[in-house]
Amino acid sequence: MNFFIRSAKFISLIFLKFLEIALSFLPLRTIKYQDVYILLRKPLGIGDIVMLSPLLKVLNDMKNYREVFLICEYDRFIDLPNITWQHPRDLNLKRLTNSLVISPAFSFVNLYYFFMSKYYLGYFLSNSLISNSYKIHFKFNSNKMHYARKIKPIIQLFQTKPAVNLTYPNLIENKSQIVLPKNYICISPYSNWPERQYPIERFYDLISFASKSIPVVIVGTDNYHSGIKLSFDKNNVINLINKTNINEVVSVIANSKIFVGNDSGLAHIASINNIRSILLFGCVPQSLRLPINEKLQKNISSFGSGNLCKHFPCYNGYFKPSCKNSNKYICLTGIRHEDVKLKLDELLLKVNY
């Protein structure tokens, strides 16, 4: 079944490329739109939204439009007071006929809005940026360019004076009824892709090691994890797996002393909150996924062993990767666990009690 789905998507990409070429010959439309709709729908994850959030911050701070909408299935977790966060089911499609629709990242689900919109800007047909109201030419290479690089050309269209550095908006915290110790670290052991999953047994070892000196809070979800699931019911360990909503987990991570996790949405939440972090990367180069802010990068220790795989990187920005190496997931299993553990020990010594 996966073969047929991938084949259908591949054929669709060829058709869309021809459509993209044909559209390039059409004249640009005079800009008369009033509202802006930003498409950040699933399968884009929380991490994608965080990495693309500098664009949201720019649009949030502008006064040129009557209203800006963010179309997304996730609950509102970014502080953007001038942007209306809206679920796709609540979208009034008639309003698209006089609005600018922006797709900051390619997704097949956005094609529907592309055909419905009068003005469009973004990655609708491929990883090439297109627009019928702005003259712009840019092709994003997911294997060589930083993820945030795809939004820079869009941001430049809306800024009269381009900023030197892109900045991230604040995230929304909700402490709710969760009671935690004053000092603790966060570990997020599960990933939704095996190509991003550091061996779960090694996470168990890190949890056991760290919990001897500080409370450990386990966060995230195992809903998409089909491999081994371990019990984290240990002394000095608080298990919040599947027990928090997005705003609660933002609060838990933002108030932790250290974060350890796979390349994931929670890792990006930790990164832009400037938490000392140990991030474990698989199918993509860590240099292309770390925050674009150098100050935030200084608090991140990243590990990956993609250099051991001839197929690395195996994520092309269109399809979920599928490990082709006979030594499965060597990009993760090849990470020296001793080095990760030593780094965690080093960070634990720096925790200010």
324 and 201 within one domain = yes
Least confident of 7-21, 39-53, 338-352: 7-21
Question: What's the number of domains the chain is made of?
Answer: 2
Integer Cα distance of 168 and 55 in angstroms: 9
| Assigned domain for 262 exists | yes
223 and 104 within one domain = no
Integer Cα distance of 38 and 115 in angstroms: 15
pTM assigned to the model: 0.91
Q: For residue 304, what is the domain's CATH number?
A: 3.40.50.2000
Q: For residue 113, what is the domain's CATH number?
A: 3.40.50
Task: Give percent helix, percent strand, percent coil of the chain, each to the nearest 5.
Answer: 35, 15, 50
Helix (H) or strand (E) holding 85: strand 83-86
198 and 127 within one domain = no
Amino acid at 92: N
| Assigned domain for 24 exists | no
| Assigned domain for 95 exists | yes
pLDDT band at 158 (very low <50, low <70, confident <90, very high): confident
pLDDT in the model for residue 325 = 93
Integer Cα distance of 48 and 36 in angstroms: 20
343 and 195 within one domain = yes
279 and 191 within one domain = yes
Integer Cα distance of 203 and 197 in angstroms: 10
- Closest by Cα among 182, 204, 188 to 241: 188
- The DSSP symbol for 328 reads T
Average pLDDT of the residues in 102-111: 94
60 and 194 within one domain = no
User: Is residue 156 over pLDDT 80?
Assistant: yes
pLDDT band at 265 (very low <50, low <70, confident <90, very high): very high
Least confident of 15-29, 51-65, 210-224: 15-29
| Assigned domain for 6 exists | no
Integer Cα distance of 298 and 51 in angstroms: 17
228 and 154 within one domain = no
323 and 195 within one domain = yes
81 and 121 within one domain = yes
pLDDT in the model for residue 60 = 92
Q: Residue 35 in 3-state DSSP? A: strand
User: Is residue 314 over pLDDT 60?
Assistant: yes
211 and 85 within one domain = no
The tens digit of pLDDT for each residue in 196-234 reads 999 999 999 999 999 999 999 999 998 665 566 666 667
Supply the angle between the helices 200-210 and 337-350 in degrees, to the nearest 10: 30
| Assigned domain for 169 exists | no
Q: Which residues constitute the domain of residue 91?
A: 29-158
User: Is residue 352 over pLDDT 70?
Assistant: no
- The DSSP symbol for 61 reads T
332 and 207 within one domain = yes
Please state, rounded to an integer, the average pLDDT across all residues of the chain. 89
Give the dihedral of Cα atoms 166, 168, 169, 175; nearest 10 deg: -170
Q: Which of 158, 177, 198 is the last residue of a domain?
A: 158
pLDDT band at 27 (very low <50, low <70, confident <90, very high): confident
332 and 265 within one domain = yes
